[in-house]
């Protein structure tokens, strides 16, 4: 099986154009923070060998899935707004989070947000400083995505973005919202 965290382009956008560069940069800012929290949360939930984080949208054994060591391979959302790597080998998780925050701020600025002193202080028209996420995890916080998203919420709060997490007991709440 697999888990998936999606961003709804209809609700996470700048202006009215979900395909604009600004809208895509907003979603890349959020995805950069999501990505940095995946592996530690998954390992804490499943153990070091119980699950693996996929960097590309296909199974690792597929011929279509790039593999570490392949030319051009890099972890998902590990490049900044200018296409430069965010991380260097040997970084601690705290250093990775700091690097991801800096990269996310670059994407927020490119999306038209106002950033002052490493904090997002204003959103462009059609965007917000707060977003919500729904986890169909039974309402108990016992879901691997919940662990990822609490880390995301805490990191985003440090740079001026509020993330509300709704851990619903009824999975239909998610499907109705979609």
pLDDT tens column, 91-117: 999 999 999 999 999 999 999 999 999
- Pull the structure tokens for residue 157: 């709060």
Strand partners, 8: none
- Report the distance separating Cα 150 and Cα 112, nearest Å: 26
Nearest to 41 by CA among 142, 168, 166, 151: 151
pLDDT tens, residue by residue, 9-37: 999 999 999 999 999 999 999 999 999 99
- Is pLDDT of 65 > 80? no
Question: Residue 96 and residue 147: Cα distance in Å, rounded?
Answer: 17
């Amino acid at each position: 099986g697999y888990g998936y965290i999606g961003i709804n382009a209809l609700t996470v956008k700048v202006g009215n154009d979900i395909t604009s560069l600004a809208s895509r940069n907003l979603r890349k800012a959020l995805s950069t923070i999501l990505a940095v929290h995946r592996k530690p949360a998954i390992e804490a939930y499943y153990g070091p060998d119980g699950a693996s984080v996929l960097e590309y949208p296909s199974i690792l054994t597929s011929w279509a899935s790039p593999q570490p060591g392949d030319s051009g391979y890099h972890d998902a959302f590990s490049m900044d707004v200018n296409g430069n790597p965010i991380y260097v080998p040997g970084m601690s998780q705290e250093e990775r989070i700091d690097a991801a925050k800096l990269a996310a701020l670059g994407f927020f600025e490119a999306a038209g947000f106002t950033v002052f002193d490493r904090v997002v202080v204003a959103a462009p028209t059609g965007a917000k400083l707060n977003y919500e996420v729904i986890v169909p995890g039974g309402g108990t916080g016992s879901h691997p995505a919940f662990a990822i998203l609490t880390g995301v919420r805490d990191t985003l709060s440090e740079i001026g973005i509020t993330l509300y997490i709704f851990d619903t007991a009824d999975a239909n709440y998610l499907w109705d919202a979609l």
